[in-house]
Structure 1
Amino acid sequence: MCNVGCGSRIRHSVFYNEDVHTNGEVTRKEYVCCKQGYALTSTVSHKRRRRGCIRTSCEAKLEILKVKDKNKYIVVGFNEVHNHDMTTVDKVHLLRSHRNLTESTKAYSADMSKVNIPVHKQLSLLEVQVGGLENVMFVKRDVYNDLRDVRGEVIGHDAELLKEHFMAMQEKNESFYFKMEVDLEGRMGNVFWSDARSRRAYGFFFGDVVVFDTTFNTNLYGMVIVPLLGVNNHRQTVLFGCAFLTSETTDSFVWLLEEFKKATPSEPPKMIITDQYAAMSKAIAVTLPTTFHRYCIWHILNKITKKPGIGEYFSEMNKCIWGMDKKEEFDGKWEQKIKNNGLQDHAWLSSIHTMRENWVPSYVKHVFSGGMSSSQRAESCHSFFKQYINLKNTLMEFIVRFERALASQRHKELMADRVDNKKKPPLPFQTPMQHQMGCNLHSGNYGNV
Structure 2
Amino acid sequence: MNISKEKSSIRGLEAQDVGRSLETKKKRKDPQQHKLHFHMDMELENDCAWKPKQGMTFDSEQCVYDFYNTYGERMGFGIRRDFCRKNKFTNQLICRLLVCNKEGFQKVDKRDPLAKNPRVETRTGCEARLYVKLDEGTGKFVVIDFKEKHNHDLVSPECAHMLPSQKKISTTQLDNEEQITNMFWTDAQMIMDYTQFGDVVTFDTTYKLNKKHRPFASFVEFNHHRETVIFGTTLLYDETTESFVWLFQNFLEAMSGKAPKTLFTDQDAAMAKAIPIVIPNTSHRLCTWHLMQNALKHVNCLFQDKGVKGVLNKFFFDIEDANQWKLEWAKILDKYDAHENHWLKLTFAVKEK
With the shorter chain as reference, the TM-score category is: 0.3 to 0.5
TM-score computed with the length of structure 1 as normaliser: 0.38
TM-score computed with the length of structure 2 as normaliser: 0.48
Higher helix share: 1
Which protein has the larger Cα radius of gyration, Structure 1 or Structure 2?
1
